[in-house]
Structure 1
Amino acid sequence: MRVKNKKTIMVLAVAGCVLLAYWLWLSLRPVEIVAIHHRSSGFSDVLVTNFPPTDKGKINWWLKNKDMLKDKYAALKTDSDGSFYITFWLFGDGYKEEGKYDRLCFSDMKVKENCIDKNRVFSVETVNNGDTFFTVSDAIYLMENNGEMTKVKYK
């Protein structure tokens, strides 16, 4: 009876280690920016792979990389009032033809395959008072101009 319990504990420990290793691998992969598209004044779409899986990871990635996105990729196109809205989409299987119902297509590409499957992972919006909203799959976070962060409840 004792041997069976040791085997069960060993199997659970190995499974736990494998899951932990997989989670670490997911968390530590570098984000790849595939392309950036500007839809209109103040609205940009960034196509990415390997985006952080957690809300905190996404927000921290943004805070660390927003200047790089602005300087290197000109991703932060602001509106006349200084606000902007940027959406991060998983690139998935790449560009596709429009064909399917729920695809996002980019008019700045003059080829047939100019659409992606909609898989939004993160968006950032600033308003003219300097506050920033971070939207993830099931939550919105507000970072006030003073840097204070709060989770906004859905109604």
Structure 2
Amino acid sequence: MKKILILVVIFSFVITGYRICHPTRIIGIHQVSENIIVLVVQHFPWTKQGKISWWQRNQSGVFSKLNIQENNYSVFIYNTCYKKDSGTDQDSDLLCFKDMATEESCISKENRPLIIWRYRDGHTEYTTESIFRRFY
């Protein structure tokens, strides 16, 4: 029993260290329409508060790169990497971007940890997904 407890503690320290050493990184920013943004990130925070705090700290940097009104928008954040669309039915779950010149211009729509809706009246809504959502 002690060995299992020690392994769990060591595993927890390794995961925590990994998350600290690999901060969230924006891989791509895509303006899909006038008021819709798609962010592709890696190493996104796990907790609801961490996700929302990350967005609040980084939203001005995202808006500075785009021509979008900051009072009426939707942001979809995907924690994934780019893939190539092979044109088969297996790739029907991919979201592809025409603004990229490379073959690897698609992402999987599955891992979407945060969605932000900002309304004209100043109200903001956040929808978060758990990393364990696929297991229940």
What TM-score comes out, normalization by structure 2 length?
0.79
| Alignment of structure 1 residues 4-153 onto 2, 5 Å | 8-9=1-2, 11-25=3-17, 27-28=19-20, 29-71=22-64, 73-74=65-66, 77-78=68-69, 82-92=71-81, 94-97=82-85, 99=87, 100-118=91-109, 119-137=111-129
Partners of 1:98 and 1:89 in 2: CA distance? 20
User: Whose radius of gyration is greater, 1 or 2?
Assistant: 1
Report the residue type matching 2:41 in the other structure: V
Partners of 2:7 and 2:115 in 1: CA distance? 34
Backbone CA RMSD of aligned residues: 2.2
Matched residue of 1:120: which SS?
coil
Q: Which runs of 4+ in 1 moved over 4 A?
A: none
Partners of 1:27 and 1:57 in 2: CA distance? 12
Structure ranking higher on relative contact order (CA contacts 8 Å, 6+ apart): 2
Cα deviations by residue, 1:10-45 (Å, 9 ceiling, x for unpaired) = x13312312321442354231111111111111010
Judging changes above 3 Å, is the alpha-carbon distance between structure 1 residues 14 and 48 closer, same or farther for their aligned structure 2 residues?
A: same
Partners of 1:34 and 1:128 in 2: CA distance? 28
Partners of 1:64 and 1:103 in 2: CA distance? 29
